[in-house]
Amino acid sequence: MSVPHYPDRPIPFYLIRLRDFLRWLRVKKIKRFSLSKFMIGNGSRFGPRLRNYSPSFLVIGNDVSIGSDFRAEVNLTISDDVLISSHVSFIGNDHDVFDRNKTVKTCARLPENTTNVCSNVFIGYGATIIGSVSIAEGCVIGAHAVITKDTEPYKVYVGIPARAIRDRI
């Protein structure tokens, strides 16, 4: 048996306050356990299990919405008005594995990666952004896409590795 949904019915005041309190607790928990600088703008919200493993900073702008199971392992700046779905990862390209004279385990680490997400961007479910890239303004990143290079403004990117398939009109 399903629960009826009433879209025109207002949300009770106490539930609004409870949601706000739980969001506040989530931010406090992330700031407490983050090893790097964590800043969040006004009106930004994120789901449970946001994991911040950024080496230096994670900056989230105003009116950003992030789904559950978000993971940041690079220095990351997210501008205003960005929508990020669930299970999105920003990971570093941080091991120099191309030297045949060394084993993969003994390869040196590369410098920290920094990723920039410009405003008015949508990143779909399960997308992975690898290394130091910039996602340009107005881009749409499809579900499960893997971004390895900088993107162009107002394009739709899909695939592994992601490529532009059309302009965003």
| Residue-level pLDDT, tens digit, the chain, 169 residues | 566 666 777 878 888 888 888 878 877 777 777 766 888 888 888 888 888 888 888 899 999 999 999 999 899 999 999 999 999 999 987 777 777 888 888 877 777 889 999 999 999 999 999 989 999 999 999 999 999 999 999 999 999 999 999 998 7
| Pair 76, 54: CB distance under 8 Å | yes
CA 68 to the chain's CA centroid:
10
> What domains, with CATH codes, occur in the chain?
13-167 (2.160.10.10)
- In this prediction, residue 48 carries a pLDDT of 83
Residue 119 C-beta-side C-alpha neighbours within 13 Å: 5
In this prediction the pTM is: 0.81
- In this prediction, residue 2 carries a pLDDT of 61
- In this prediction, residue 60 carries a pLDDT of 92
Task: Give residue-wise pLDDT tens across range 103-113.
Answer: 888 877 777 88
Q: Looking at the chain, list the stretches that DSSP marks H as alpha helix, in order from N- to C-terminal side.
A: 13-33
